[in-house]
Amino acid sequence: MDTFEIGDQDFLLNDRPFRVLSGAIHYFRVHPDLWADRIHKARLMGLNTIETYVPWNEHSPVPGSFVADGGLDLGRFLDLVADSGMHAIVRPGPYICAEWDNGGLPAWLFSDPTVGVRSSEPAYLAAVSAYMESVLDVVVPRQISRGGPVIMFQIENEYGAYGSDNAYLQHLVDLTKRLGVDVPLFTCDQPFGTMIEDGSLPELHKTGTFGSRADERLAFLRERQPTGPLMCAEFWNGWFDNWGTHHHTTDAAGSAAELDALLTAGASVNIYMFHGGTNFGFSNGANDKGIYEPTITSYDYDAPLSEDGQPTAKYFAFRDVIAKHFPVPAEVPAARPSLTASVVSVSGSTPLLSAPPATQLVPGPVPPVEITGQYRGFYLYEVLLQGGGVLSFSEIRDRAQFFLDGVPVGVLSREAGERTVVIPHGGRLQVLLEDQGRVNYGQRIGEAKGLLGPALLNGVEVVDWEIGAVDLKSLDAFHDAALPFPDGDPAHAGVAGPSLSFATFEADGPGDRFLRLDGWTKGNAFINGFNLGRYWSRGPQRTLYVPGPLIREGANELAILELHGSATREVTFAVGPDLGPDEK
């Protein structure tokens, strides 16, 4: 049986020095039918290991559940890593950051305000223990000591940037060992201040996270990890994007030089990201360091392998660096097949609120959305107002569209710090609330979403709100209610929102597409019922990636949730991605 251990200076694979050359691929950001392709391309770049996070909230959307099939089949992903002849590193959190909704922590966990966050609070630890048991049912049998690919297992994630609760970390270590993990346990933290010490325990192997000044960072790490192999557990070779900013890129040659410095110093590395993938559906996270900034749908990350799985200039620059130090396969990935642009017109539409979701009356102050039992997406608030005036809230999380007797009267945005809307007269007020992504870093993880009270109309509290969750898991009811546009209407007649519009298009068979929505404002797009993610005219990204396996031979259905309105009824399947202008 194979072994993997930490020696005085090196990782040891079967008692021989081994350098970990790893690349991050998040299985939950990639269509499962494409996992093998992405793993194979990592091997062709010269890597020997695949690293992945495990998102607790994705696997456990409601309390007591653990979904582990389809795109969440971690076992199958690890088996594919093994089939490729590569090793695996598993980082289950329970907090993962990753620009992922709530940093991977389930929103339902914090419906009880007494539950702790990333601490030794008993209710939190009980929930973490149940989650880890489910994860380790998958991982433990796939450790290298049992014939599988897993060689390392992380405890928490950059915990030193958040807290220093040693009892919490010790609980995770004891739990992990009790459940059968026998591969090396490690922590990773930024090499600044006391983060490495605060985020680890003496018995755990410490690694660093950084993207530049490799020699300096490794020296800092060596002071705090006097023996054992040096490792950059997140080599940041790119960055993520927020709505309304530019597309972040880093110079391929500069990143390759930093990678060369790491390898020349004898360090092991995990490239974050090797392949970023996509924040499908409503899975994106957000930052809030004074200004709320939701992350875009694309998680391309300017990685060596692009969002749609294509090798970039950075891929070949990294491959050349690795080849200076280690053998690399002779094979190189094939280029993307040429695509042909096509235009599709939506043929019918239905107002989103023509059949509003079932609501529950909540006596008293305006409630958070978590009371509905749905923890992502859209919600509807309703209340009868006896008169008009200025309606204010303590905070909007995250974006609210107001309708009085069906007529739009305003939009409030957390990002803009807006909290008041003018209501012209009394009537039935409906508020379409969008959760744009839960904060994934810092002290605001675990916070509630919705209209945060008190809700005051001319200084008097408005109570007894009705609230319901907009269910977009199936679009059948919306499709059945859609009315065709009148014959002869021009494509530039547009679509009023909020609404769901539908189109059918033909395809020869599976194959990647890039959906471009010029002239549309904001919403989500769906292919054959699969939620591709959010689009927004403010950019930077101008296309949504459509994974090839979603497309079937013959008729396919496109659905577009448009929140405001479009200047056209047409969309384009483009010949390639457009993630917006780079920073100049």
Choice among 99, 156, 234, 415 that is catalytic:
234
Structural contact between residues 78 and 149, judged by C-beta atoms closer than 8 angstroms = yes
Length of the chain: 584
Helices 122-139 and 74-83, interaxial angle, to 10°?
40
**Residue 12 CA: distances (Å) to CA of 152, 185, 260:** 12, 14, 22
Per DSSP, helices labelled H in 482-553 are none
**Burial state string for 290-320 with b = 16 or more CB within 10 A and e = fewer than 16:** eebbbbbbbbbbbbbbbbbbbbbebbbbbbe
Peptide bond into 540 cis (omega under 30): yes
- Per-residue tokens: 579: 């993630």
**Burial state string for 175-196 with b = 16 or more CB within 10 A and e = fewer than 16:** bbeeeebebbbbbbbbbeeebb
How many CB atoms neighbour CB 379 within 10 A? 26
Whether 570 is catalytic is no
Whether 158 is catalytic is yes
Unique residue bearing structure tokens 């239905």: 350
Distance of alpha carbon 190 from alpha carbon 490, whole angstroms: 56
**Residue 357 CA: distances (Å) to CA of 49, 366, 399, 469, 470:** 46, 18, 18, 6, 6
- Per-residue tokens: 412: 């409030």
User: Which phi-psi region, left, alpha or beta, contains residue 539 (left: φ > 0; alpha: ψ -120 to 50)?
Assistant: left
Task: Report the candidate in 230, 193, 190 with the shortest Cα–Cα distance to residue 211.
Answer: 190
Structural contact between residues 527 and 546, judged by C-beta atoms closer than 8 angstroms = yes
Residues 400, 401, 402, 405, CA torsion sign: negative
Residues 518, 299, 582, 291, CA torsion sign: positive
Write the single-letter amino acid at 54: V
Structural contact between residues 480 and 500, judged by C-beta atoms closer than 8 angstroms = no
Structural contact between residues 342 and 505, judged by C-beta atoms closer than 8 angstroms = yes
Task: Report the candidate in 236, 232, 241, 210 with the shortest Cα–Cα distance to residue 303.
Answer: 236
Both ends of the chain: CA-CA distance in Å? Answer: 52
Per DSSP, what are the bridge partners of residue 504?
A: 557
Choice among 51, 99, 158, 570 that is catalytic:
158
Distance of alpha carbon 430 from alpha carbon 266, whole angstroms: 61
Active site residues: 158, 234
